[in-house]
Amino acid sequence: MRLFPRRRHPRSSGRHHPRWLPPIRLLLTFVVLPPILGMALLATSTATTRWAQRDAADAMTRDAVELDRLIVLRGDVASEHVTAASITTGTDLGISPARLSALYHIDFIGQMRLARDTVNADPTVTAYPDLTADLLRLRVLRSEIDAGNSGFAAVEVLFARFEGDIDRRWQNRFDDARRLETTASHGLGSASDQLDVVQATFTAFHAALARTSFTNAVLTGHKTQANIEAVIAANTRFSTAVADFSSRLGPRATIAWREVQADPASRHFDAVVDEAIRVGVGGARSALSSDPTAYGASLIAAGNWVVDLTHVNAAASIDLNDHIRLLRASAQRAFLLAMIGASLAIVLAAVAAALTASAVARPARRLASSARRISDGAFSIPPLSRSGVRELADTSRALNDLTATLAALEQYAITLARDPTSPTLNRRLPGPTGAALQATVDQLRDSVYEREHHRVELQEAATHDVLTGLLNRGAAMDAIERDVARSQRDEIPMMVLFIDLDAFKNINDTYGHHVGDAALRLTAEALRAATRQSDVVARLGGDEFLVAGSASSPEEMENIARRVHDAISSQSVSSDGRRIAIDNSIGIASIQFGDTAESVIRNADDALYRAKRRGRNQVAWNRPDLSRAREGAVQSPLAS
């Protein structure tokens, strides 16, 4: 932004220099331009390459971190899978969890609770919509397991889907990292070995899953040729993957792999796999098939062993991340060294040019150049040095003072347009001319500030209720329209609460409008305290209020409604020493597909009238099915 427009002035004609005397400008061009351009091109090329390497390392770091998060989640889900499969297998056989724990000396219930809490708390689930949906289905299955209504087959189907979705997400991330590594210009080739290790550990993990599944099939009597060949193939893939990564593991993965090898469950299950292959190939009957206790212990050991392999994969991802950090630091150092070298070369070229241009005409040319720039409206220029003869030095000083004043005035104008309250405007303009202009600038700033303040007041008055300070009906409708659109677009569950004060007209008629206004203000304060900052809280008019916001389930909607109800009910107004309680009724409506702001508010209003008809001072749903199903849960704690 410029205070004054640029203008072009025809240059005055003057005496030409003799042709055999090169002008200083041309001399400077030949001296300065070639080395500066060469250094700039070199610096740009080097810096671009190093910067690309650093950006690629940053991107691969993000991929490595996400790989680690996904495999940790995979291990957490696998842990819950193991305990859920053990308990439901007992359920299928008529063995209670308590009896199962006593039989194998394992606290299955405690392990299951710990595994569930770990999966629920993992933030990676909420980062992906498909994993979030899997967790919701898992929560339903958990209820069935706890009630003893779910068997092993249902557990396997759901966990296979959940774990498959995690594996697909992991593979997509790994493919992204591999593409970055194979881009030659990024210089990340040294990460190839670490990526191979990560892939090999993941391959071993999947081979271990297949080995466990087909071993179970062979030992339980399903000795088909396909199952026998599958367990042998899975065992071969597992051994090949282990041979591929065991000698190339990083420090963290090496420790994790040693722990797996030292785990008795690992050695025990290796023996079980060998027996399954022997039984399948030789046709003999396994001793485990007639010993349920030993067979169950083998399956539990297999599950724990598979979970341990996820720790190896997670450790390999961390090792990859550490290696990429080293690559990034190396690229960063190379970038800085390239920039420092180029800067030194440019400085040396500039010093040589300065020595070459030590002619008498140089101060005059600088003065002329600065004058032209000021005439074009460029005031932010370096001050002229007071060199040359006295007249030129005095002229340079006067031009410096004028330039500083004009530059400061231009900056004042820019700041005044952007932020009239900026403390920068409190600094005085320099020079005598600046002092003369300061009064005008101050007056203009006051005018702009008053206009902005008035605009803010008008905006506040147009969108907020005067008595309570809450949003008014118009602003609330605009906000709910946006929430409804977002709910429909992003499939985010949302709710609307319609609140009405019971017997408010009686308060106004009996105690006066000042008591009624006090009740409305207290209601507004209660709503602010009981709702979240992201919620829409408004007064629609009279004693009607509205709250809208996100809620993940009907239970959460009811909890919010109860909290709002209790917060309002805890308030009371006084008149002539008498305390008057503020009773209220609330209608709940959830936003459904195809709803508009008007329709969902109308649904909440219908629910409010249902609450009124049931006796007031309670919460009701707009849908009869939800209202009947939750009637007891809603009315008991709210009725007064």
* C-beta pairs of 3-11 under 8 Å, 24+ apart in sequence: 3/377, 3/379, 3/406, 3/409, 3/410, 3/413, 4/377, 5/377, 6/376, 6/377, 6/378, 7/375, 7/376, 7/377, 8/376, 9/375
Measure CA of the first residue to CA of the last residue in the chain; give whole Å: 66
**Catalytic: which of 502, 543, 595, 605?**
543
Beta strand 494-501 with 544-550 is: antiparallel
Beta strand 584-590 with 619-621 is: parallel
Q: Measured between alpha carbons, how far is 218 from 233 in angstroms, rounded to an integer?
A: 14
Residues with Cβ < 8 Å from 570, sequence gap 6 or more?
526
Check the CA dihedral 528-531-532-537 and report its sign: negative
φ and ψ at residue 593, rounded to 5 degrees: -60, 135
> Residue 187 CB: number of other CB atoms within 10 A?
19
Instruction: With beta carbons less than 8 A apart as the criterion, state whether 302 and 231 touch.
Output: no
Amino acid at 563: R
Instruction: With beta carbons less than 8 A apart as the criterion, state whether 201 and 316 touch.
Output: yes
- Please classify residue 46 by burial: count the beta carbons closer than 10 Å to its beta carbon, then call 0-12 exposed, 13-18 middle and 19+ buried: middle
* Active site annotation includes 274: no
Q: Measured between alpha carbons, how far is 97 from 374 in angstroms, rounded to an integer?
A: 88
Amino acid at 172: N
Q: Measured between alpha carbons, how far is 363 from 347 in angstroms, rounded to an integer?
A: 21
Residue with tokens 């609770």: 113
Q: Hey, which residues are catalytic here? A: 543
